[in-house]
Amino acid sequence: VSDVGIVGLGLIGGSLARDLAAAGRRVVATDRSGAAVAQARGKGIVATELDPDEPPPLVVLAVPVRATPDWIRRLAGSTRPDLVVTDTGSTKRSILDAARGAGLDGFVGSHPVAGSHESGWDASRTGLFRGADVWICPGRDSAPGSIDAVERLWRDVGGRPRRIDAGEHDRLLARCSHLPQLVATALGTALSRLGLPPEALGPGGRDTTRLAASDAAMWTDILLDNADEVRPAIEALADALEELDSAITDGDEQRLRALLAGAREWKAGPS
Amino acid sequence: VSDVGIVGLGLIGGSLARDLAAAGRRVVATDRSGAAVAQARGKGIVATELDPDEPPPLVVLAVPVRATPDWIRRLAGSTRPDLVVTDTGSTKRSILDAARGAGLDGFVGSHPVAGSHESGWDASRTGLFRGADVWICPGRDSAPGSIDAVERLWRDVGGRPRRIDAGEHDRLLARCSHLPQLVATALGTALSRLGLPPEALGPGGRDTTRLAASDAAMWTDILLDNADEVRPAIEALADALEELDSAITDGDEQRLRALLAGAREWKAGPS
């Protein structure tokens, strides 16, 4: 069984390193933070520092979306011709474009639907990918062997690979992930400005704002990278909010109840 | 120890009945649904049907906000001059007004901050109020004895009574509870219209939309009753959302990161 390289030992990369090491794989890794690498080495999770010029056969880029293209270019210049590279980012079109631009034929996009509002090595843990869907976006020129290698990696840590077109992926994620993040951030912003301390929230308000605690730099990247898909999703939300506001302003009981019941039926199924 | 009356055996009334019965209190109750009363009697939780003309010394109205004033008027006409009545609604001004209008001096408003997106007798359970804040809004003419009786009731089921002015309560709740409900409903509405099935959500999206499953009729009442406080809260949210949208549209990385970081700092504390 060959070595696996991991770039970035945050929540995703760190958790992947833990699971792979536990499964007996030799992990070589690097991180902006020498402290994360030192801790991972100290625990025997990472064997040694990854050398980008002489990478192992399979490398996972678990860095923010914006930092990924640089790493793709860096690895495209390595000495290994059969190198397979994947990533873990929440957007896929721009990253596949970068791989094509760099001529990195062995690139296959991945997006494990796992994680939380927490971030960093300290938040990483074993079992993060168990049962999680992992979106797999092959590039136009990806060799079947590269795709297999990447899917096998995710299966080895309990994930469920699902192939999807990059454009479809980015549209889906704008809706199911990026919009909820924005909603939680907008709600947190509004409540903060209204002077409400987060301790004043009940269980419902705490859940609705949970994602507001997510990493700001990571989400800035994702939202700007996927702006063309995120904006129509925001518009759909703003429309729904305005309809609720109008119904409340007009005292339109029937309309308000229909909106509440429609969302309820979507979420909970017919009552 | 005297009997307690409960009107409405839904999530709140049913859970209260369970806890009081378990604590050895004799509970008399009524509900629109004969089935809920029959089930509660069958389990020995409710002793007998409540007779509004001859109520026990303390009655809890656990019916929707809109149905509460009718019950207040009904009980004001009972034969018991020292009757103490409280409610469990999410708004307090209109209910205190109704009690004053009906001349029910023994009325003290309550709002236990407990519950969930679930509703009905089947969702009721023991221990729902354990550790929960319970807002107590005395009326202008409430006798100290009435307030004590109501606070003692909540303490008996593990709640923590906290006195608050009704106007302050309604403003606070518009922000910490009614706005999160609207946000979850708006998000559910938007995602439903965009054709996204709820199963497509990850853990974050599931939490952000959890409240969308709440009871539509109950929330229609609450939102219309508290419209004057809810509307400025919606406006604050719409402003925050528009700022996020503008930053994304303009590719204004600095502004977008500042908004995300501000909400993060509010939610999670300084990072």
What are the pLDDT digits (tens) for B239-264?
A: 999 999 999 999 999 999 999 999 99
**B69 has pLDDT over 80:** yes
> B165: distance to nearest CA of chain A, Å?
16
Contact criterion met (CB < 8 Å) for B210 and A204:
yes
pLDDT-derived band at B52 (thresholds 50, 70, 90) equals very high
B52: phi then psi, degrees, rounded to nearest 5: -65, -20
Report CB contact under 8 Å: A180, B209: yes
Instruction: Determine contact, residues B51/B71, Cβ cutoff 8 Å.
Output: no
- Residue A271's pLDDT is 57
* Percent helix / strand / coil, chain A, rounded to 5: 55, 15, 30
Alpha-carbon distance A160 to nearest alpha carbon in chain B (angstroms) = 14
Mutation target among B207, B252, B257 for the A interface, most CBs of A within 10 A: B207
Residue B196's nearest CA partner among A12, A69, A229 is A229
A184 Cβ partners below 8 Å, 6+ apart? A208, A209, A210, A211, A212, A214, B204, B208, B263
CB-nearest partner of B185 from A172, A224, A263? A263
**Interchain CB distance below 8 Å, B182 and A227:** no
Question: Inter-chain contact B219–A248, Cβ cutoff 8 Å?
Answer: no
* Neighbouring residues of A126: CB distance < 8 A, sequence distance ≥ 6: A15, A18, A19, A22
Q: Is the pLDDT of residue B271 over 60?
A: no
Q: Which of A78, A57, A76, A218 is nearest to A153 (CA)?
A: A57
Q: What is residue B192's predicted lDDT score, i.e. its pLDDT?
A: 98
**Pair A200, B179: CB distance under 8 Å:** no
Q: Which residue of A128, A194, A252 is the best one to mutate when testing the B interface, meaning the one whose CB has the most B CBs within 10 A?
A: A194
The chain A residue lying nearest B262, using CA atoms, is A189
pTM of the shown model: 0.88
Q: What type of residue sits at position A5?
A: G
Produce one character per residue of B194-206: b if its CB has 16 or more CB atoms within 10 Å, e if not.
Answer: bebebebbbebbe
Nearest to A212 among B176, B205, B266 (CB): B266
> Which chain A residues contact residue B244 at CB under 8 A?
182, 185-186, 189, 234
Q: How confident is the prediction for chain B on average, in pLDDT?
A: 95
CB within 8 Å of B79: residues ≥ 6 apart: B53, B54
Q: What is the pLDDT of residues A103-139, one digit of tens each?
A: 999 999 999 998 777 889 999 999 999 999 999 999 9
CA distance A248 to chain B (A): 6
Q: What was the pLDDT predicted at A4?
A: 98
Amino acid at B85: V
Tell me if A208 and B204 make a contact (CB, 8 A cut-off): no
Q: Please indicate whether, in this complex, the C-beta atoms of A190 and B236 are within 8 angstroms of each other.
A: yes
- CA of B270, closest CA in chain A: separation in Å? 10
Closest approach of B258 to chain A, Cα-based (Å): 8
What is the C-alpha separation between B231 and A3, in angstroms, rounded? 58
Q: Which H helix or E strand runs over B167?
A: helix B166-173
Chain A residues close to B209, C-beta within 8 Å: 180, 267
Interchain pair A205, B256: CB under 8 A: no
Q: What percent of chain B has pLDDT over 90?
A: 90
Distance (Å, whole) CA A52 – CA A71: 9
Q: Which two tokens stand for residue B228?
A: 């004057």
Residues of chain A with pLDDT below 50 are: none
Most A-contacting residue of B162, B241, B271 (CB-CB within 10 A), to test interface: B241
